[in-house]
Amino acid sequence: MSENLLEVRDLTITPAGAEAPVLHDVSLSLSPGERVGLIGESGSGKSLTAQAVMGLLPEELRSDGTVSLQGFAGNILEAKEKTLARMRSDLASMVFQEPMSALNPLMRIGDQIAEVLRIHGDVARRDIPGRVLDLLTSVHMPAPESARYAYPHQMSGGQRQRVMLAIALANSPRLLICDEPTTALDVTVQKHMLELITERVSAVQAGLLFITHDLAVVAEVCERVIVMYAGRIVETGSVKQIFTDPQHEYTRGLLASSDLEATDAHRKLFSLKTARSYAGPIDEAEPAAATGPVVADEPGDVRVPTDVREPVPTSAGEAHEAVHSPPLIDVSGVSKHFRSGGLLLRRRSPVRALDDISFSVASGQRLGIVGESGSGKSTILNILSGLDRPTSGHVRVGDIRVESASSSALRTLREDLQIVFQDPFASLDPRMRVEDIVSEPLIARGMARDERLSRVQEMLLAVDLDTKAMRRYPHQFSGGQRQRISIARALVTRPQILVADEPVSALDVSVRAQVLNLLTDLVDDYALTLLFVSHDLGVVKHLCSDVIVMKDGHIVESGSTEDIYAHPREDYTRSLIAATPSLAGALASAP
Amino acid sequence: MSGNPSITSAGGTTTDQRRRTKLRLNASMVIGAVLILLIVALALVSFVWTPYDPSAVDPVARLQSSSTEHLLGTDKFGRDTLTWIMYGARITLMVGIVAVGIAVLIGTPIGIIAAVFAQYPWGVWLSAVIMRANDILLAFPALLLAIVFAAVFSPGTGPAMVAVGIAAIPGFARVARSGTMQVLGSEYVRAAKASNRSAPAIAIVHVLPNIASMVIVQASVAFAISVLAEAGLSFLGLGTQAPVPSWGRMLQESQQFLSTQPELALWPGLFIALAVLGFNLFGDGLRDRFDPKMEARGNV
């Protein structure tokens, strides 16, 4: 064994009963104290690789190859559970994606950290409480003294992830594996968490294997990047190398489609197919040096977004003209309170999900609603579509007063207003064929079957799906394809207003670009008014002409997208923009 | 499908794997299915052929043990036990089908309706009333209900089946209600509502197919319970009446010969046990198959 901290050789993983492996001859190494990013889309095998290193592979999977870790004698893949248990936490430990399900909900935080210390027995029993406090302080837990006695449900997502990090680092492992540790967190929380991981890992001089699908995140944390695609490692290199001079076609595609600032000759986002003409992320600090071989039509510089926007005939310009006509959607003074507690236990005061919200949307406008989780953005959508009623205030869509609408008025409303939901895996009935799913809004209208089918066919073609798809079930499609089906269902009735609730947040980066491009096209083709809810400022910036920033049920700031991004007036907006990971920013600060 | 073909292939493998796990049968389901098929075969064959006439009395050959003439021996009147077992399988299956049928057809809609009502402000109390009535019904044991039925009507297979069926309603109502609540909370139902589908349409198109698996599992377990309940009732004289052959009654009649001819109790007992075991194993197997966690595990 060399002096590498981690050495994976020819790791091949095959599911029981399957002939084709899901992981092909993966080899990688990590020197002590090195921070390496493992990047790839869902299904690329990055999590399997991490599980193999921890000896956590499910039994149905057959693995070949060797995984050796400094300080552990022998091959981890062949080791017995008993020796592995000793290795975990002492030599290597892991932070998982979902901090809620990774913690025991019935155990106090302090006890959960103490448990790890006690089992491994390197700390004397009487020193454990002190060590727990040290660990909580080291992950910058607010009020660490009292946090010890808190239960997981009393903490926010970010705090829970801090606890996970404290547990992972409790026995000073030499290797820390983070599996998408910030994917479930808000951007501002993610920024702090990434800083914290970097800080703690270098403080204890541990190696870091950081798994993510987000290139910008990897650039912020890691020194070296390993790119995985379809169960193989396709490229390895330093952050700078991968970002400025990617060798493999897939890496280039991933890079191109992650960059929401760059558009191709047709003003579309780059996808894996069009990535050839992508020039690389533009470094804000030194634009001239970093642009490299610029494509002729590439206007490119982020500092002058007007260059990109103004020639676009449909988005910003038209929307501003339309403002003068009476708005299509008018929301004034809307509040929504949720009562918490049951019939007998009335403990808490009502939760104010929305507090005195007012805004209006002109016909043809593209409005983005941005906010972190709990800001009330989804509640607005529910109220607009009549799925939920406001506690007070008025909502008008077209000439329907939504808050007091009868069920027949709501039916009319829903013919004009359709929704694309967030999770393409949850929003399609698993037991229905695609043709039935897409034609559902038409059935409600009482349309004849033949006409329905031709409309469905037409719509599926419009979202770039084969008409063969009609007879299949949702599970036979990938996430991006499912989201196309969802969009087809929303547009099949030819609504005037399309409401999209985080439609790309569950998708892989490469698929995200395709779906966003499709959405842009359809909004133009069908002259739709778009309401786009997202936590991702980059996506909103690309797609929307105007934006509303929300926090805790209030509108913090609103205005045209360019204004808000160029000159945010509120601190909150500024922190949100600063926290959004961007390729260019990350590259500028990369070592 | 505009995506690069090599890109979509990653998603393709997962679908293949899922299909493969779905085809993989588990042992308890196979054993259960074999036992159920055995009982069904006995009942079907009895319509066409039995070794003897079930009412053929043969005083000379009474209380015999297994022989080549009487494979499973004879009872106190010299009637062939194998013939009786075959005829008894009919009653057993009929009671199961009718009782479970009553429970599914009444219990499932009750559960769905209760869950759908609970969504509306005006329906919350109605839903609560339905489910509490259901809880009251749950408090009556099947046996007690059957005794009441036997007292009010005359004791017989019919009242026994209905009583067992009614006693199984609450189980189905609860399963259907919890399943419906889950489905109604899903995003695809929100999407259906946003597409203007009415509540009954959502219940039929979305809820029913998605809770079907849970109801089927419950049905196979309820079938086992019904088989056992019928045997118990016939044993007590509240179920199937003489001279119709029934496993429960055979067991009861064998009581007086338990010391002299124990084989007489062995066969009906064994078949009741096999039938119950068969349906329970089958139900367990189905549950494992339909368990979303199992599916997720196969889909790494």
**Does residue A367 sit in helix, strand or coil?**
strand
Task: Give the closest residue to B262 by CA, choosing from B119, B73, B114.
Answer: B73
Average pLDDT for A102-124: 87
Q: What is the rounded average pLDDT of the residues A460-471? A: 88
Residue A300 — very low, low, confident or very high, per pLDDT cuts 50/70/90? very low
Question: For the ranges A242-246, A507-511, B189-193, which has the lowest average pLDDT?
Answer: A507-511
The predicted model scores a pTM of: 0.77
Q: Quote the distance between the C-alpha of residue A502 and its chain's center.
A: 9
Taking the alpha carbons of B242, B248, B253, B254 in that order, is the dihedral positive or negative?
positive
| CB of B298 less than 8 A from some CB of A | yes
- Going by the DSSP 8-state scheme, the letter that residue B207 receives in this structure is I
What number is the average pLDDT over the span B278-288?
Answer: 88
* Residue A319 clears pLDDT 60, i.e. is over it: no
Give me the residue from B9, B198, B300 closest to A230, CB to CB: B9
Widest Cα–Cα separation across chain B: 84
Please say whether the beta carbons of A420 and A503 come within 8 A: yes
State residue B176's pLDDT score: 96
Instruction: Classify burial at B237, counting beta carbons within 10 Å of its beta carbon; exposed 0-12, middle 13-18, buried 19 or more.
Output: middle
* Best-predicted range by mean pLDDT (A105-114, A531-540, A573-582, B108-117): B108-117
CB contact under 8 A, A430 and B16: no
Q: Counting one residue from A and one from B, how many pairs have CB atoms under 8 Å apart? A: 114
Per-residue pLDDT at A338: 77
Decide if pLDDT at A345 tops 60: no
The DSSP call for residue A548 is E
Q: Which one is predicted more confidently, B170 or A578? A: B170
B193 touches A at CB < 8 Å: yes
Per-residue confidence (pLDDT) for residue A307, from 0 to 100: 38
Higher pLDDT, A302 or A346: A346
Looking at the complex, report in whole angstroms how far the Cα of residue A213 sits from the nearest Cα belonging to chain B: 15
Complex ipTM: 0.74
Q: What is the pLDDT of residues A28-83, one digit of tens each?
A: 999 988 999 999 888 788 888 988 888 888 877 888 888 988 888 888 888 888 88
**B contact residues 222-281, partner A, Cβ 8 Å cutoff:** none
pLDDT greater than 60 at residue A306: no
Runs of H (alpha helix) within chain B? 5-23, 27-48, 81-117, 124-138, 142-152, 157-184, 187-194, 199-202, 208-235, 247-254, 263-290, 292-298
CB A156 within 8 A of CB A100: no
Judge whether residue A222 has pLDDT over 80.
yes
Q: How confident is the model at residue A423 (pLDDT cuts 50, 70, 90)?
A: confident
Residue for token digits 């009444």?
Answer: B106
Average pLDDT, chain B: 85
- Our CA dihedral for A510, A512, A517, A519, rounded to 10 degrees, sits at 160
* Cβ neighbours around B37 below 10 Å, total: 11
Q: Is the model's pLDDT at A353 over the cut of 90?
A: no
> Does residue A320 surpass a pLDDT of 70?
no
A432:B209 CB<8 A: yes
Q: What are phi and psi of A67, to 5 degrees?
A: -125, 115
Instruction: List the one residue out of A552, A539, A553, A562 whose CA is nearest residue A216.
Output: A539
Q: Please answer yes or no on whether B17 and A466 come within 8 Å at the CB atom.
A: no
**Whole-number Å distance between alpha carbons of A525 and B88:** 70
A486-518 pLDDT, tens per residue?
Answer: 999 999 988 999 999 888 887 888 788 888 888
Amino acid, single-letter form, for residue B82: L
Contact at 8 Å (CB) between A120 and A171? yes
On the question of pLDDT at B158 being above 50, the answer is yes
Report the percentage of chain A scoring pLDDT > 70.
87
How do A92-95 and A175-179 pair as beta strands?
A: parallel
Region A236-240: mean pLDDT is 89
Here the tokens at position A124 are 């004397």
Torsion of CA B182, B185, B187, B188, to 10 degrees: 60
Residue type, A27: S
A43 burial type by CB count under 10 A (0-12 exposed, 13-18 middle, 19+ buried): buried
Q: How far apart are CA A56 and CA A84, in angstroms?
A: 9
The average pLDDT across B115-133 equals 91
At A339, is the pLDDT very low, low, confident or very high (cuts 50, 70, 90)?
A: low
**Is residue B300's pLDDT more than 50?**
no
Residue B104 reports pLDDT greater than 50: yes
Find which of A184-188, A343-347, B172-176, B263-267 is predicted with most confidence, using mean pLDDT. B172-176
Residue B9 has pLDDT above 60, yes or no: no
Average pLDDT over residues A88-97: 86
Closest C-alpha among A337, A334, A381 to residue A358 = A334
Strands (E), A433-512: 497-501
State mean pLDDT over A525-550. 89
Residue A28 backbone class (left: φ over 0; alpha: ψ -120 to 50; beta: rest): beta
Asked whether the predicted pLDDT for residue A549 surpasses 50, the reply is yes
- Is 70 exceeded by the pLDDT of residue A173? yes
pLDDT at residue number A141: 87
Q: Using CA of residue A367, residue A371, residue A375, residue A381, what is the dihedral sign?
A: positive
* Helix %, strand %, coil % of chain A (to 5): 40, 20, 40
Asked whether the predicted pLDDT for residue B202 surpasses 90, the reply is: yes
Query: Which residue has better confidence, B48 or A345?
Result: B48
pLDDT classification of B24: cutoffs 50, 70, 90? low
Q: Which residues of B touch A441 (CB under 8 A)?
A: 195-196
pLDDT confidence band for A186 (50 / 70 / 90): confident
Distance CA A247, CA A275 (A): 12
Q: Which of A164-173, B13-22, B49-58, B171-180 has the lowest mean pLDDT?
A: B13-22
pLDDT at residue A140 in the model: 87
B292 reaches A (C-beta below 8 A): no
The span from the CA of A235 to the CA of A237, in Å, is: 7
**What is the predicted pLDDT for the residue at A349?**
62
Q: Cα(A232)–Cα(A210) distance, rounded to whole angstroms?
A: 17
Q: What is the mean pLDDT of residues B119-138?
A: 91
Shortest distance, CA B8 to any CA of chain A (angstroms): 7
Say if B296 is an interface residue toward chain A (CB within 8 Å).
Answer: no
CA distance, residue A110 to nearest chain B CA (Å) = 30
Q: Considering only CB atoms, which chain B residues are within 8 Å of A14?
A: none
Q: Is residue A131 over pLDDT 60?
A: yes
Alpha helices by DSSP H, listed for A222-349, are 239-244, 249-258, 287-290, 305-309, 316-322
- In this predicted structure, the answer to whether residue A577 has a pLDDT above a threshold of 90 is no
Give the Cβ contact number of residue B25 at 10 Å. Answer: 11
Which of A44, A272, A411 is facing B10, going by the closest CB pair? A44
In percent, how much of chain B has pLDDT > 70? 88
Closest CA to A164 of A221, A262, A97, A259: A97
Residue A327 DSSP label: P
Identify which of A96, A13, A19 has the alpha carbon closest to the alpha carbon of residue A57. A13
- Are A24 and A232 a contacting pair, CB within 8 Å? yes
What confidence tier does A293 reach under pLDDT thresholds 50, 70, 90? Answer: very low
**For chain A, what is the mean pLDDT?**
82
Cis peptide before B243 (omega within 30 of 0): yes
Per-residue pLDDT at B69: 84
The maximal CA–CA distance of chain A, rounded, in angstroms, is 77
User: Where does the pLDDT of residue A347 fall: very low under 50, low under 70, confident under 90, or very high at 90 and above?
Assistant: low
Model confidence at B291, pLDDT cuts 50, 70, 90, reads low
Closest by CA to B279, choosing from B218, B209, B212, B213, is: B218
Q: Is residue A550 a contact partner of residue A334, using CB atoms and an 8 Å limit?
A: no
Q: DSSP characters for B289-300?
A: HH-HHHHHHH--
What pLDDT does residue A284 have? Answer: 42
Residue B206 gets which letter from DSSP?
I
